[in-house]
Amino acid sequence: MLTKIDHIGIAVTSLEAAIPFYRDNLGMEFRGTEEVSEQKVRVAMLQIGESKIELLEPIAEDSPVAKFIEKNGAGIHHIAYEVDDIQASIDKLLAEGVRMIDTQPRSGAHGASICFIHPKSSMGVLTELCQHLA
């Protein structure tokens, strides 16, 4: 089902303040920013080998990322795994009794189809599955 670690999501209060650390200090390749209005965030992607770091800045006070930062502070928000077939992955997990946040794929950053597994089913870690369609 899983093919690789796709990215690690990090909640930040400001992309403008966070990007230079990852790009300049750590030397990651900056891949650009985009707004994911459905999740009320702006994201910046930085490449490191086969994987990416996804910086998440909330754009609304009721954004799940804004609520995360309010409760926990900035930091690691989720880990994302790439899958070949997101719907088949969701169906398999549901059949196995895994608690899902999403029971149908939704749109994510960079044209990916995504879903989240509830942290109560994944040992306290918010887990994302993503299928890159393009």
One digit per residue, the tens of pLDDT, for the chain of length 134 reads 899 999 999 999 999 999 999 999 999 999 999 999 989 999 999 999 999 999 999 999 999 999 999 999 999 999 999 999 999 999 999 999 999 999 999 999 888 999 999 999 999 999 999 999 86
Secondary structure E strands in the chain: 2-11, 29-36, 41-48, 51-58, 75-83, 106-107, 112-117, 127-132
Q: Where are the alpha helices (DSSP H) in 50-96?
A: 64-72, 86-95
Query: Starting from the edge strand earliest in sequence, which strands make up the sheet with 41-48, in order?
Result: 29-36, 41-48, 51-58, 2-11, 75-83, 127-132, 112-117, 106-107
Q: Which domains does the chain have, with CATH numbers?
A: 2-132 (3.10.180.10)
Amino acid 23: pLDDT: 98
SS3 9: strand
pLDDT recorded at residue 111: 87
Backbone phi, then psi, for 105, in 5-degree steps? -60, 150
Res 134: pLDDT: 66
pLDDT at 20: 98
The pLDDT assigned to 88 comes to 97
